[in-house]
Amino acid sequence: MPVLTSGSQSATRGLAHVARPFLETQADEPGPCFEAMPNLLESYAWCHRLTRLSRSSFYLSFYTLPRDLFRDLCVLYAFMRVSDDLGDDATVSLGDRSAAINKWRTMLGQALDGKRCEHPVLPALTDVVRRRRVPREYLVDVIDGVESDLAPRIFETFGDLSDYCYHVAGAVGLCCMHIWGYTDPRAEELAVDCGLAFQLTNILRDVAEDARMGRHYLPQEDLDRFGLTTADLRTGEPLPRFRELMAYEAARARVYFGRAEELVGLCSPAGRAILDAMVRTYSSLLNAIESSAFDVHSRRIRLGLWRKLRIVLGSYWRHRLQATGAHDVALVDPS
Q: What is the pLDDT of residues 145-166, one digit of tens each?
A: 999 999 888 899 999 999 999 9
Q: In angstroms, rounded to a whole number, what is the distance separating the alpha carbons of residues 258 and 196?
A: 12
Q: What is the pTM of this model?
A: 0.86
Residue 170: what pLDDT?
A: 97
Q: Give the CA angle between residues 327, 334, 322 to the nearest 5°.
A: 20
Domains of the chain: 9-52+67-131 (no CATH), 152-335 (1.10.600.10)
Model confidence pLDDT, tens digit, residues 43-71: 999 999 999 998 777 788 898 999 999 99
The ranges of the chain with pLDDT < 70 are 1-37, 321, 323-335
Given this model, what pLDDT does residue 74 score? 96
